[in-house]
Structure 1
């Protein structure tokens, strides 16, 4: 089961999110709904989005379309920068890079810790 937490740091203009576990399609849809609710309170082009993925598991093939949809939302909403922090996990890193290339998300930075 996947979970997520969203916090907006308005003074520093950072949209913080934390994701963990293995997302089912239902978990993914819930996270998108929460994202859309929170995003309506800010102007994304003025913000960076930082997503802590250090506890995230590699996505199953059936949930990759939802991950792609999330990346497309970040691109469409026009964040200044998108930063994903992951634990040293080559498979997750490759998966995130592949999805970002597919949706042409050029302002994504993956930080391994």
Structure 2
């Protein structure tokens, strides 16, 4: 099963991403490549990055540096808004909020869906 999906939805000015499970190094490399390809095709200043984290596992300590690098990448991309959709999982929401704060992401929203 693929660990992520990235779709451009032009009529909503949104890039929708779904993230599942935990990533290994190879998954991270593939994800970064596909993310950069999608971002290069839109004017990110007018777009929202919407990340579906509803099937994402609680972060293991060894994964936090890699995910922090992803958050830096999202922040540096220049999206109007970066929205993380989660289930009712207080630990994951706290982890996502902390990562966003650590990279200086001021346009992040964590939404329980």
TM above 0.5 = yes
Cα displacement string for residues 9-44 of structure 1 (whole angstroms, at most 9, x for unaligned residues): 112210100111122232222211110111111111
Alignment match, 1:54: 54
Contact 1:7 / 1:16 at 8 angstroms: preserved in 2?
A: yes
Aligned residues: 113
Find the counterpart in structure 2 of residue 35 from structure 1: 35
Distance 2:30 2:92 in 1: 21
> Which residue in the other structure is 1:25 paired with?
25
Number of the residue aligned with 1:102 = 102
Alpha-carbon distance between aligned partners in 2 of 1:24 and 1:92, rounded to the nearest angstrom: 18
The alignment partner of 2:11 has SS state of coil
Do 1:25 and 1:62's aligned partners in 2 also have CA atoms closer than 8 Å?
no
Structure 2 spans left out of the alignment, 5+ residues: none
1:78 alignment counterpart: 78
TM-score after normalising by structure 1? 0.92
Equivalent residue, structure 2, for 1:68? 68
Please, which runs of 5 or more residues in structure 1 have no aligned partner? Answer: none
C-alpha distance in structure 1 between counterparts of 2:37 and 2:64, whole Å: 22
- Note closer, same or farther for the CA distance 1:70–1:103 as it changes in structure 2 (3 Å cut): same
Distance 2:103 2:62 in 1: 17
Give the Å deviation of 1:2: 6.8
Instruction: State how far apart, in whole Å, the 2-side matches of 1:54 and 1:2 are.
Output: 15
